[in-house]
Amino acid sequence: MADTYPVPAVWAEGARVDVGGRAALSAQAEADPTGFWLKQARRLDWIVPPTVADESSFEEADFDIRWFADGQLNVAANCIDRHLSDRGDAVALIWEPDDPAEEARRYTFRALHQEVNRFANVLKAEGVGKGDRVTIYLPMIPEAAFAVLACARIGAIHSVVFGGFSPDALAGRITDCDSRLVVTADEGRRGGKRIPLKANVDAAAERVPGLTRVIVVRATGAEVPMAERDRWYHELAADVSADCPAEPMAAEDPLFILYTSGSTGKPKGVLHTSGGYLLWASLTHEWCFDYRPGEVWWCAADIGWVTGHSYILYGPLANGATTLMFEGLPTWPDASRIWQVVDRHQVTTLFTAPTALRALMKEGDAFVTATDRSSLKLLGTVGEPINPEAWRWYHDVVGAGRCPIIDTWWQTETGGAMIAPMPGATALKPGSATLPLPGVAPALVDEKGTVLEGAAEGNLLITRSWPGQMRTVWGDQDRFFQTYFTTYRGSYFTGDGCRRDADGYYWITGRVDDVINVSGHRMGTAEVESALVLHPKVAEAAVVGMPHVVKGQGIYAYVTLNAGVAADDALRSELVQWVRREIGAIAAPDALQFAPGLPKTRSGKIMRRILRKIAEGDVSSLGDTSTLADPAVVDDLVANRVG
Ligand code: WT7
């Protein structure tokens, strides 16, 4: 078939898993799940090896997600200590700073061990212990890795909050998991700009009385006011030893919370635990990317998202990889930066988001072709559907036709890749994440929940648990069950639509719920709406996704103003700024239309289908509008569409 890329010969011969190997793994996982998973689990170092594997149930009566429950391990020891004897002097972490004129930093596993132990002792000295929540609001600096792994070492639960979130969003996340300690920096840097992280924490702290300690890493050296609760990290670190025993943890002890947007206004704290999560991060990193010792692995995500957790830190480090952490932006100082970093550090595998590729693609090929890139062997993508045009550009121009494209479908909730190619085993089709990984059981269903066989399109479910599955919504097990396990009883509902072709390949079509995927990041429409209606001039707001050439989806907001308020461009930009300040830049609407009224049914329900169509510019097929309370509002919306 013209649009199928067979496994290249070098991969067919040399990969860890070949076509037969992938099929065999999948067959073993089906035939003897317990034997299969207990065997896979042996890739980790256990203090007490597990004797049980999956004990989960998706049924309401005995609902629980539980894996390897009698095993004990320490996640940080798996990522660091166990590599010391044979690869202690190998580089674990390469840090590439924002400014290309600055020197990169390298940490061997031995150096990482010292840094993490020191950070762990600082946290301990501040009274942090097993099960306590630590909020980490740091830029992409090595200390972010140290802080995360230090929590894992002492059994504290980290909650990393992306540095682009506002003080308000940060305060909500600190409060929700009741963390008394925040780790931050004076400032962050990205693309030559400064981000006032400490000032944001100060603003958040006013809303969180329970926040008693802020540890500040000196990153840029900016002058920041230090209050009673604030301590400099370098001062605390000077007083502690670089020796800190790793806390033995039960496999099901929590490792981290990561907040993600859903279809309600309040982000949910996705909880991952220790054994199953680490196994899934490590196993999928090996299956999908075939890492070999000495290679340089680069996941160009931010540590504030799950991709950064699983594929900058936990997966690669558990596998003894050299992982690269990049502080900067793909487009700064110019659109060549990524490829220069690839050359500078001889990167073997690059893992990034389609949105970054589209942004670079439009700058032209010269930025790419001016660089060497011969170190690359594989190219990965994650976060949103990749359009075939961007896929081909990645394959043909970036990889010069040599590197398979590993398109991984997964979610914050899944912990790691679920549907993805293995380079030695899977023929590729541009735009398809290909096949479920061994042990992953997807199903497509129609609206009624009838399972669709063969080539079909429907909603994507996962019918049984896998080790990396989230365990609960922090503090709200009922919300966990209601959100994911009640739409289709007995299965996990992903929120994604999906098509399966005649070869059994999966093609994710996007979210079918009220979640927008902006530049590979999730944003709930309800969250943006709540922010808009907080503005004193706004009466009502409705937010939908719209196609966006670089971001994949953009945010389109319809706003009804209070009586007597004049709609003008100044107010429009004020409202966009308002959302940016309330939530963060990623939530800022790309288009904002003033709407005298919204299309509602007679019972008052907003008809989002119509709003989506108008936002898409598809006004010829609005469907039946006769059930609307006031059909005339649609004409106004169509006439005043923006963009
Ligand atoms: C949503 C999850 C996966 C980590 C980063 C995003 C979409 C993710 C793909 C892909 C098509 C994808 C889905 C999913 N998505 N990867 N390869 N192809 N869509 O994690 O913020 O939890 O978002 O991202 O819609 O549900 P997230």
Q: Atom 1 (ligand 1): residue with closest C-alpha? A: 411
Where residue 197 falls among pLDDT bands split at 50, 70, 90?
very high
Q: What is the pTM of this model?
A: 0.96
Which CA distances in Å does 603 have to 279, 300, 353, 598, 599?
49, 47, 41, 13, 11
**CA 139/CA 215 separation, integer angstroms:** 14
Burial of 249 (0-12, 13-18, 19+ CB in 10 A): buried
Q: Is residue 302 lining ligand 1, measured as CB closer than 6 Å?
A: no
Q: Atom 27 (ligand 1): residue with closest C-alpha? A: 411
Q: Atom 17 (ligand 1): residue with closest C-alpha? A: 409
Q: Are 31 and 8 in contact (CB under 8 A)?
A: no
**CA 471/CA 268 separation, integer angstroms:** 12
Which CA distances in Å does 456 have to 304, 418, 459, 605?
35, 19, 10, 31
pLDDT of residue 2: 52
Q: Is residue 408 lining ligand 1, measured as CB closer than 6 Å?
A: yes
User: Average model confidence (pLDDT) for the chain?
Assistant: 96
pLDDT in tens, 348-407: 999 999 999 999 999 999 999 999 999 999 999 999 999 999 999 999 999 999 999 999
How many angstroms is it from 550 CA to the middle of ligand 1? 16
pLDDT of residue 1: 46
Among 508, 509, 519, say which to mutate for ligand 1: greatest number of ligand atoms within 8 Å of CB: 508
How many angstroms is it from 515 CA to the middle of ligand 1? 11
Q: Is residue 384 lining ligand 1, measured as CB closer than 6 Å?
A: yes
Which residues is 405 bridged to in the sheet? 379
Q: Is residue 515 lining ligand 1, measured as CB closer than 6 Å?
A: no
Average pLDDT over every residue of 66-78? 99
How many angstroms is it from 385 CA to the middle of ligand 1? 8
Q: Is residue 262 lining ligand 1, measured as CB closer than 6 Å?
A: no
> Residue 136: which of 124, 148, 126 has the closest Cα?
148
**CA 208/CA 206 separation, integer angstroms:** 6
Q: Atom 16 (ligand 1): residue with closest C-alpha? A: 383
Which CA distances in Å does 380 have to 287, 300, 301, 348?
13, 10, 12, 11
How many angstroms is it from 631 CA to the middle of ligand 1? 36
For the four alpha carbons of 322, 328, 331 and 335, in that order, the dihedral sign comes to: negative
**CA 445/CA 452 separation, integer angstroms:** 5
Type and span of the H or E element at 457: strand 456-462
Q: Is residue 496 lining ligand 1, measured as CB closer than 6 Å?
A: yes
Binding-site positions read 190-193, 307, 383-385, 407-412, 496, 511, 519, 522, 533, 535, 538, 580
Q: Which residues contact 320 (CB under 8 A, 6 or more apart)?
A: 83, 87, 90, 109, 293
pLDDT in tens, 605-627: 898 999 999 999 988 888 888 88
**Strand blocks (E) in 242-400:** 249-250, 254-260, 268-273, 296-299, 322-326, 349-352, 378-382
Burial of 171 (0-12, 13-18, 19+ CB in 10 A): buried
pLDDT in tens, 490-540: 999 999 999 999 999 999 999 999 999 999 999 999 999 999 999 999 999
Atom of ligand 1 nearest to the CA of 508: 11
Tell me which residue has tokens 């994440």: 433
How many angstroms is it from 261 CA to the middle of ligand 1? 12
Where residue 603 falls among pLDDT bands split at 50, 70, 90?
confident
Query: Residue 461 is encoded by which pair of tokens?
Result: 């479910």
Among 306, 379, 409, say which to mutate for ligand 1: greatest number of ligand atoms within 8 Å of CB: 409
Q: Is residue 495 lining ligand 1, measured as CB closer than 6 Å?
A: yes
Q: Is the ipTM of this complex over 0.95?
A: yes
pLDDT of residue 78: 99
How many angstroms is it from 393 CA to the middle of ligand 1? 21
Specify the 3-state DSSP secondary structure of 64: strand
> Which long-range contacts (C-beta less than 8 Å, at least 24 apart) are formed by 621-628?
625/599, 627/601, 627/602, 628/599, 628/600, 628/601, 628/602
Q: Are 490 and 483 in contact (CB under 8 A)?
A: no
**CA 162/CA 304 separation, integer angstroms:** 4
Q: What is the 3-state secondary structure (H, E, C) of 394-425?
A: HHHHHCCCCCCEEEEECCHHHCCCCECCCCCC
pLDDT in tens, 222-255: 999 999 999 999 999 999 999 999 999 999 999 9
How many angstroms is it from 72 CA to the middle of ligand 1? 31
% of the chain with per-residue pLDDT over 90: 94
pLDDT of residue 605: 87
Atom of ligand 1 nearest to the CA of 412: 22
What are φ and ψ of residue 288, in 5° steps? -80, -30
Q: Atom 8 (ligand 1): residue with closest C-alpha? A: 383
Q: Atom 11 (ligand 1): residue with closest C-alpha? A: 385
What are φ and ψ of residue 424, in 5° steps? -90, -5
pLDDT in tens, 403-451: 999 999 999 999 999 999 999 999 999 999 999 999 999 999 999 999 9
Q: In Å, how far from its chain's centre is CA 399?
A: 24
What are the respective helix, strand and coil percentages of the chain, to the nearest 5?
35, 25, 40
Atom of ligand 1 nearest to the CA of 433: 17
**CA 247/CA 386 separation, integer angstroms:** 41
Q: Are 610 and 622 in contact (CB under 8 A)?
A: yes
**CA 582/CA 169 separation, integer angstroms:** 7
Q: Is residue 385 lining ligand 1, measured as CB closer than 6 Å?
A: yes
pLDDT in tens, 561-571: 999 999 999 99
Query: Residue 490 is encoded by which pair of tokens?
Result: 């007995």
pLDDT in tens, 129-169: 999 999 999 999 999 999 999 999 999 999 999 999 999 99
Reply yes or no on whether the pLDDT at 601 is more than 90: no
Average pLDDT over every residue of 253-265? 92
Atom of ligand 1 nearest to the CA of 386: 18
- The letter for the amino acid at 434 is T
Q: Is residue 410 lining ligand 1, measured as CB closer than 6 Å?
A: yes
Query: Residue 173 is encoded by which pair of tokens?
Result: 């996340």
Helix axes 275-289, 33-41, angle to 10 degrees: 90
Atom of ligand 1 nearest to the CA of 381: 17
What are the structural domains of the chain? 519-640 (3.30.300.30)
Specify the 3-state DSSP secondary structure of 545: strand
How many angstroms is it from 341 CA to the middle of ligand 1? 25
> Residue 304: which of 79, 488, 141 has the closest Cα?
141
Alpha helices for 195-274 (secondary structure H): 197-205, 233-238
Binding-site positions for ATP read 383-385, 407-412, 496, 511, 522
pLDDT of residue 156: 99
pLDDT of residue 262: 82
Half-sphere exposure of 347 (CA within 13 A, CB side): 32
What are φ and ψ of residue 68, in 5° steps? 55, 35
Atom of ligand 1 nearest to the CA of 522: 21
Q: Is residue 508 lining ligand 1, measured as CB closer than 6 Å?
A: yes
> Residue 303: which of 128, 545, 136 has the closest Cα?
136
Atom of ligand 1 nearest to the CA of 495: 26
How many angstroms is it from 160 CA to the middle of ligand 1? 19
**CA 326/CA 193 separation, integer angstroms:** 15
- The letter for the amino acid at 479 is R
Compute the C-alpha angle 604/605/606, nearest 5°: 115
